Amino acid sequence: MSDAKIISIAREDLISFGDVPDATNALLQRGVLAYRKDPEAAEVLFQEALALDPAQLPVYYCLYKIYAYRGLLDNALAVATVGLNEAARQAGWSDDFRAWERAAVSSGGPDHFALYTLKALAFIHLRRGETSAAQACLDKLAELAPNREVDFTVVAALAEKVAGGA
Three-state secondary structure string covering 41-65: HHHHHHHHHHHHCCCCHHHHHHHHH
Give the three-class secondary structure for 100.
Answer: coil
The count of other CB atoms within 10 Å of the CB of residue 46 is: 28
pTM comes to: 0.86
State the chain's mean pLDDT as an integer.
88
Domain residue limits, the chain: 54-165
* Helices of type H across the chain: 22-35, 39-52, 57-69, 73-91, 109-127, 131-144, 153-165
Q: At residue 4, does pLDDT exceed 60?
A: no
The pLDDT tens digits of the residues spanning 86-141 come to 999 999 999 999 999 987 787 678 999 999 999 999 999 999 999 999 999 999 99
pLDDT digits (tens, 9 = 90+) for 48-89: 999 999 999 999 999 999 999 999 999 999 999 999 999 999
Distance, CA of 130 to CA of 111 (rounded, Å): 25
Q: Is the pLDDT of residue 12 over 70?
A: no
Element (H, E) at 103: none
